[in-house]
Amino acid sequence: MKQTSSELDARSVMQASRRASRFDPQDTILARRSGQELIDRLALLEIVPENILDLGCGTGIEAAMLSHRYPKAHVIGLDICPVCFQQEKFTPWAPLVGDAAALPLSMGTFDLVFANLVVPWCEPVTLFHEIARVLRPGGAIVISTLGPDTLKELRAAWETVDEHPHVHPFADMHNLGDALLQAGFLEPVVDVDVLSFTYRKLAGLIDDLRALGATNAMTHRRRTLTGRFRWQAFRDAYPLLEGDQGRLRASFEVVYAVGWARDSSDRRQAGVRVDLPQ
């Protein structure tokens, strides 16, 4: 994970990253699904990158996939949490510890920047300006992030218990496209997919969020321990699916975007194309 926005506590984000490293990354179904979707979309870009940056690479699952897809490319996987790189094999990609808000990389280095579920932990405009800086003219950025309907069931349940924030305020796809334009990217294409996962117990959802590094890191969150009565009130308020043996649902709004770094010879008009879900 990366430099947080002002609404997030940087130390808490780092702690969440360390906690996530204790889980098997293959079990983080959401991250693996969105990562595979980004990999699949690369076929539409018709580029053959020489240098690739996997931003927020974690243990490097997608970095290895990028190396396999582009065997002649030099792939760097960057993450702010050094523990992600412990006991990992880095062939055929190279690890680098760094902060997305101040990338330790030279201007115009990469042909492709791959960012899977990184944006929620950053200030988007700052992040996209840094990415634009390290991209070569005409280079591409591919992104997956989370939209405002993510964890709407969990948010609603907590709102019946207290007034403290429990779910991060994720940016919608229109704001994401605007942020890409502000950073100088041309004709960003943005679309959204809504995924639902069901769980037998609330503990299963909590474990999945911990494995994803997506526990509450809001600056204004409640800092005291969740007492037994507050936790029980939250559990009672979480909606169960009817006719499905009491299972509960968690929704994730996954937003995808592609943008192109400005080329001095490119005269296309800047604008955002939004593809709505079918």
Whether the CB-CB separation of 144 and 116 falls below 8 Å is answered with yes
Three-state SS at 175: helix
pLDDT at 219: 59
How far apart are alpha carbons 157 and 105 in whole angstroms? 43
pTM for this model (two decimals) = 0.84
Beta strands in 88-216 (DSSP E): 93-97, 110-116, 135-146, 186-199
Q: How many other C-beta atoms lie within 10 A of the C-beta of residue 277?
A: 8
CA 220 centroid distance within chain: 21
What Å distances lie between residue 238 and 147, 170, 200, 229, 234, CA to CA?
20, 21, 12, 14, 6
Sign of CA dihedral 88, 89, 93, 94: positive
24 residue type, one letter? D
Question: Which residue from 51, 59, 49 is spatially nearest to 23, judged by alpha carbons?
Answer: 59
**Location of structure tokens 């280079």:** 139
pLDDT tens for each residue of the chain, 278 residues long: 333 345 766 666 666 666 666 666 777 889 999 999 999 999 999 899 999 999 998 888 999 999 999 999 999 999 888 777 765 566 689 999 988 888 999 999 999 999 999 898 888 889 999 999 999 999 999 999 999 999 999 999 988 988 777 777 888 999 999 999 999 999 899 999 999 999 988 888 988 888 877 665 555 655 555 667 888 998 889 988 765 667 899 999 999 999 999 875 554 444 555 554 44
User: DSSP for 52-92?
Assistant: EEEET-TTSHHHHHHHHHSTTSEEEEEES-GGGGTT---SS
The answer for residues whose C-beta is within 8 angstroms of residue 23's C-beta and 6 or more apart is 207, 210, 211
- Superfamily of domain 10-147+169-195+253-275 in the CATH hierarchy: Vaccinia Virus protein VP39 (3.40.50.150)
**Location of structure tokens 């979707």:** 37
Domain boundaries, the chain: 10-147+169-195+253-275
